[in-house]
Amino acid sequence: MRLLLVRHGITQNNLDKTYSGQSDVPLTELGQRQAEAVATYLSEEKLDVILSSDLQRAYDTARAIARHHTVPVLKDPDLREIGMGWWESLTRTQIQERNIEEWLYVRGDSANHAPTGGESFVQVQARAARILQRCQETYPGQSVLWVTHGGFI
């Protein structure tokens, strides 16, 4: 299996430097232009299937790419961004002001520790391994594109 990875276009949370996590935020106008640009860039690539996070920003990016191909876009929640729990939609400074102890604890070992209500990187790695195995079994010898998120990648 050949695997290509694309991160979704930019969102307002990205511009505001807030954690999006699994909040379902849309692309900005710039993000939509970025989705179109990556779609054009990939227009000559052979793709057999496109799998996308079920979050709007990734799915909209995937649909832009799919317009250049005759392949389905399949939503898969295993491609979601890392869950940031109560940190979602907050800046680093806001999180530190509200709970510096948790910030230091999580940032001290984010592989194994997560914000309250969120996921650790070990948990995200398990999701990634699960979908990778599914794709290898389902699409052997095919070209697969994942449209996902920075934290997941």
User: What confidence tens digit (pLDDT) does each residue in 27-38 have?
Assistant: 999 999 999 999
Average pLDDT of the segment spanning 37-54: 98
- Does residue 44 sit within a domain? yes
To the nearest whole percent, how much of the chain has pLDDT over 90? Answer: 99
Q: Which residues are known to be catalytic?
A: 8, 81
* Residue 104, phi then psi, degrees to nearest 5: -65, -40
Q: Is the dihedral of CA 118, 26, 18, 94 positive or negative?
A: negative
Domain span at 18 = 2-148
**Paired tokens of 64:** 């832009």
Q: What is the DSSP letter of 87?
A: G
The pLDDT value recorded for residue 153 is 96
Q: How confident is the model at residue 124 (pLDDT cuts 50, 70, 90)?
A: very high
What pLDDT score does 4 carry?
98
pTM over 0.85, yes/no: yes
- What's residue 90's pLDDT? 98
Mean pLDDT of the residues in the chain: 97
153: in domain: no
Domain assignment of residue 31, yes or no: yes
Q: Please compute the mean of the pLDDT values over residues 78-97 and round it to a whole number.
A: 98
Is residue 85 one of the residues assigned to a domain?
yes
- CATH number of the domain to which 43 belongs: 3.40.50.1240
- Hey, what amino acid is at 77? P
**What is the count of structural domains for the chain?**
1
| pLDDT, tens digit (0-9, with 9 covering 90-100), for 135-144 | 999 999 999 9
Distance CA 33, CA 64 (A): 10
Q: Is 135 within the bounds of a domain?
A: yes
Residue 21: both structure tokens together:
């996590």
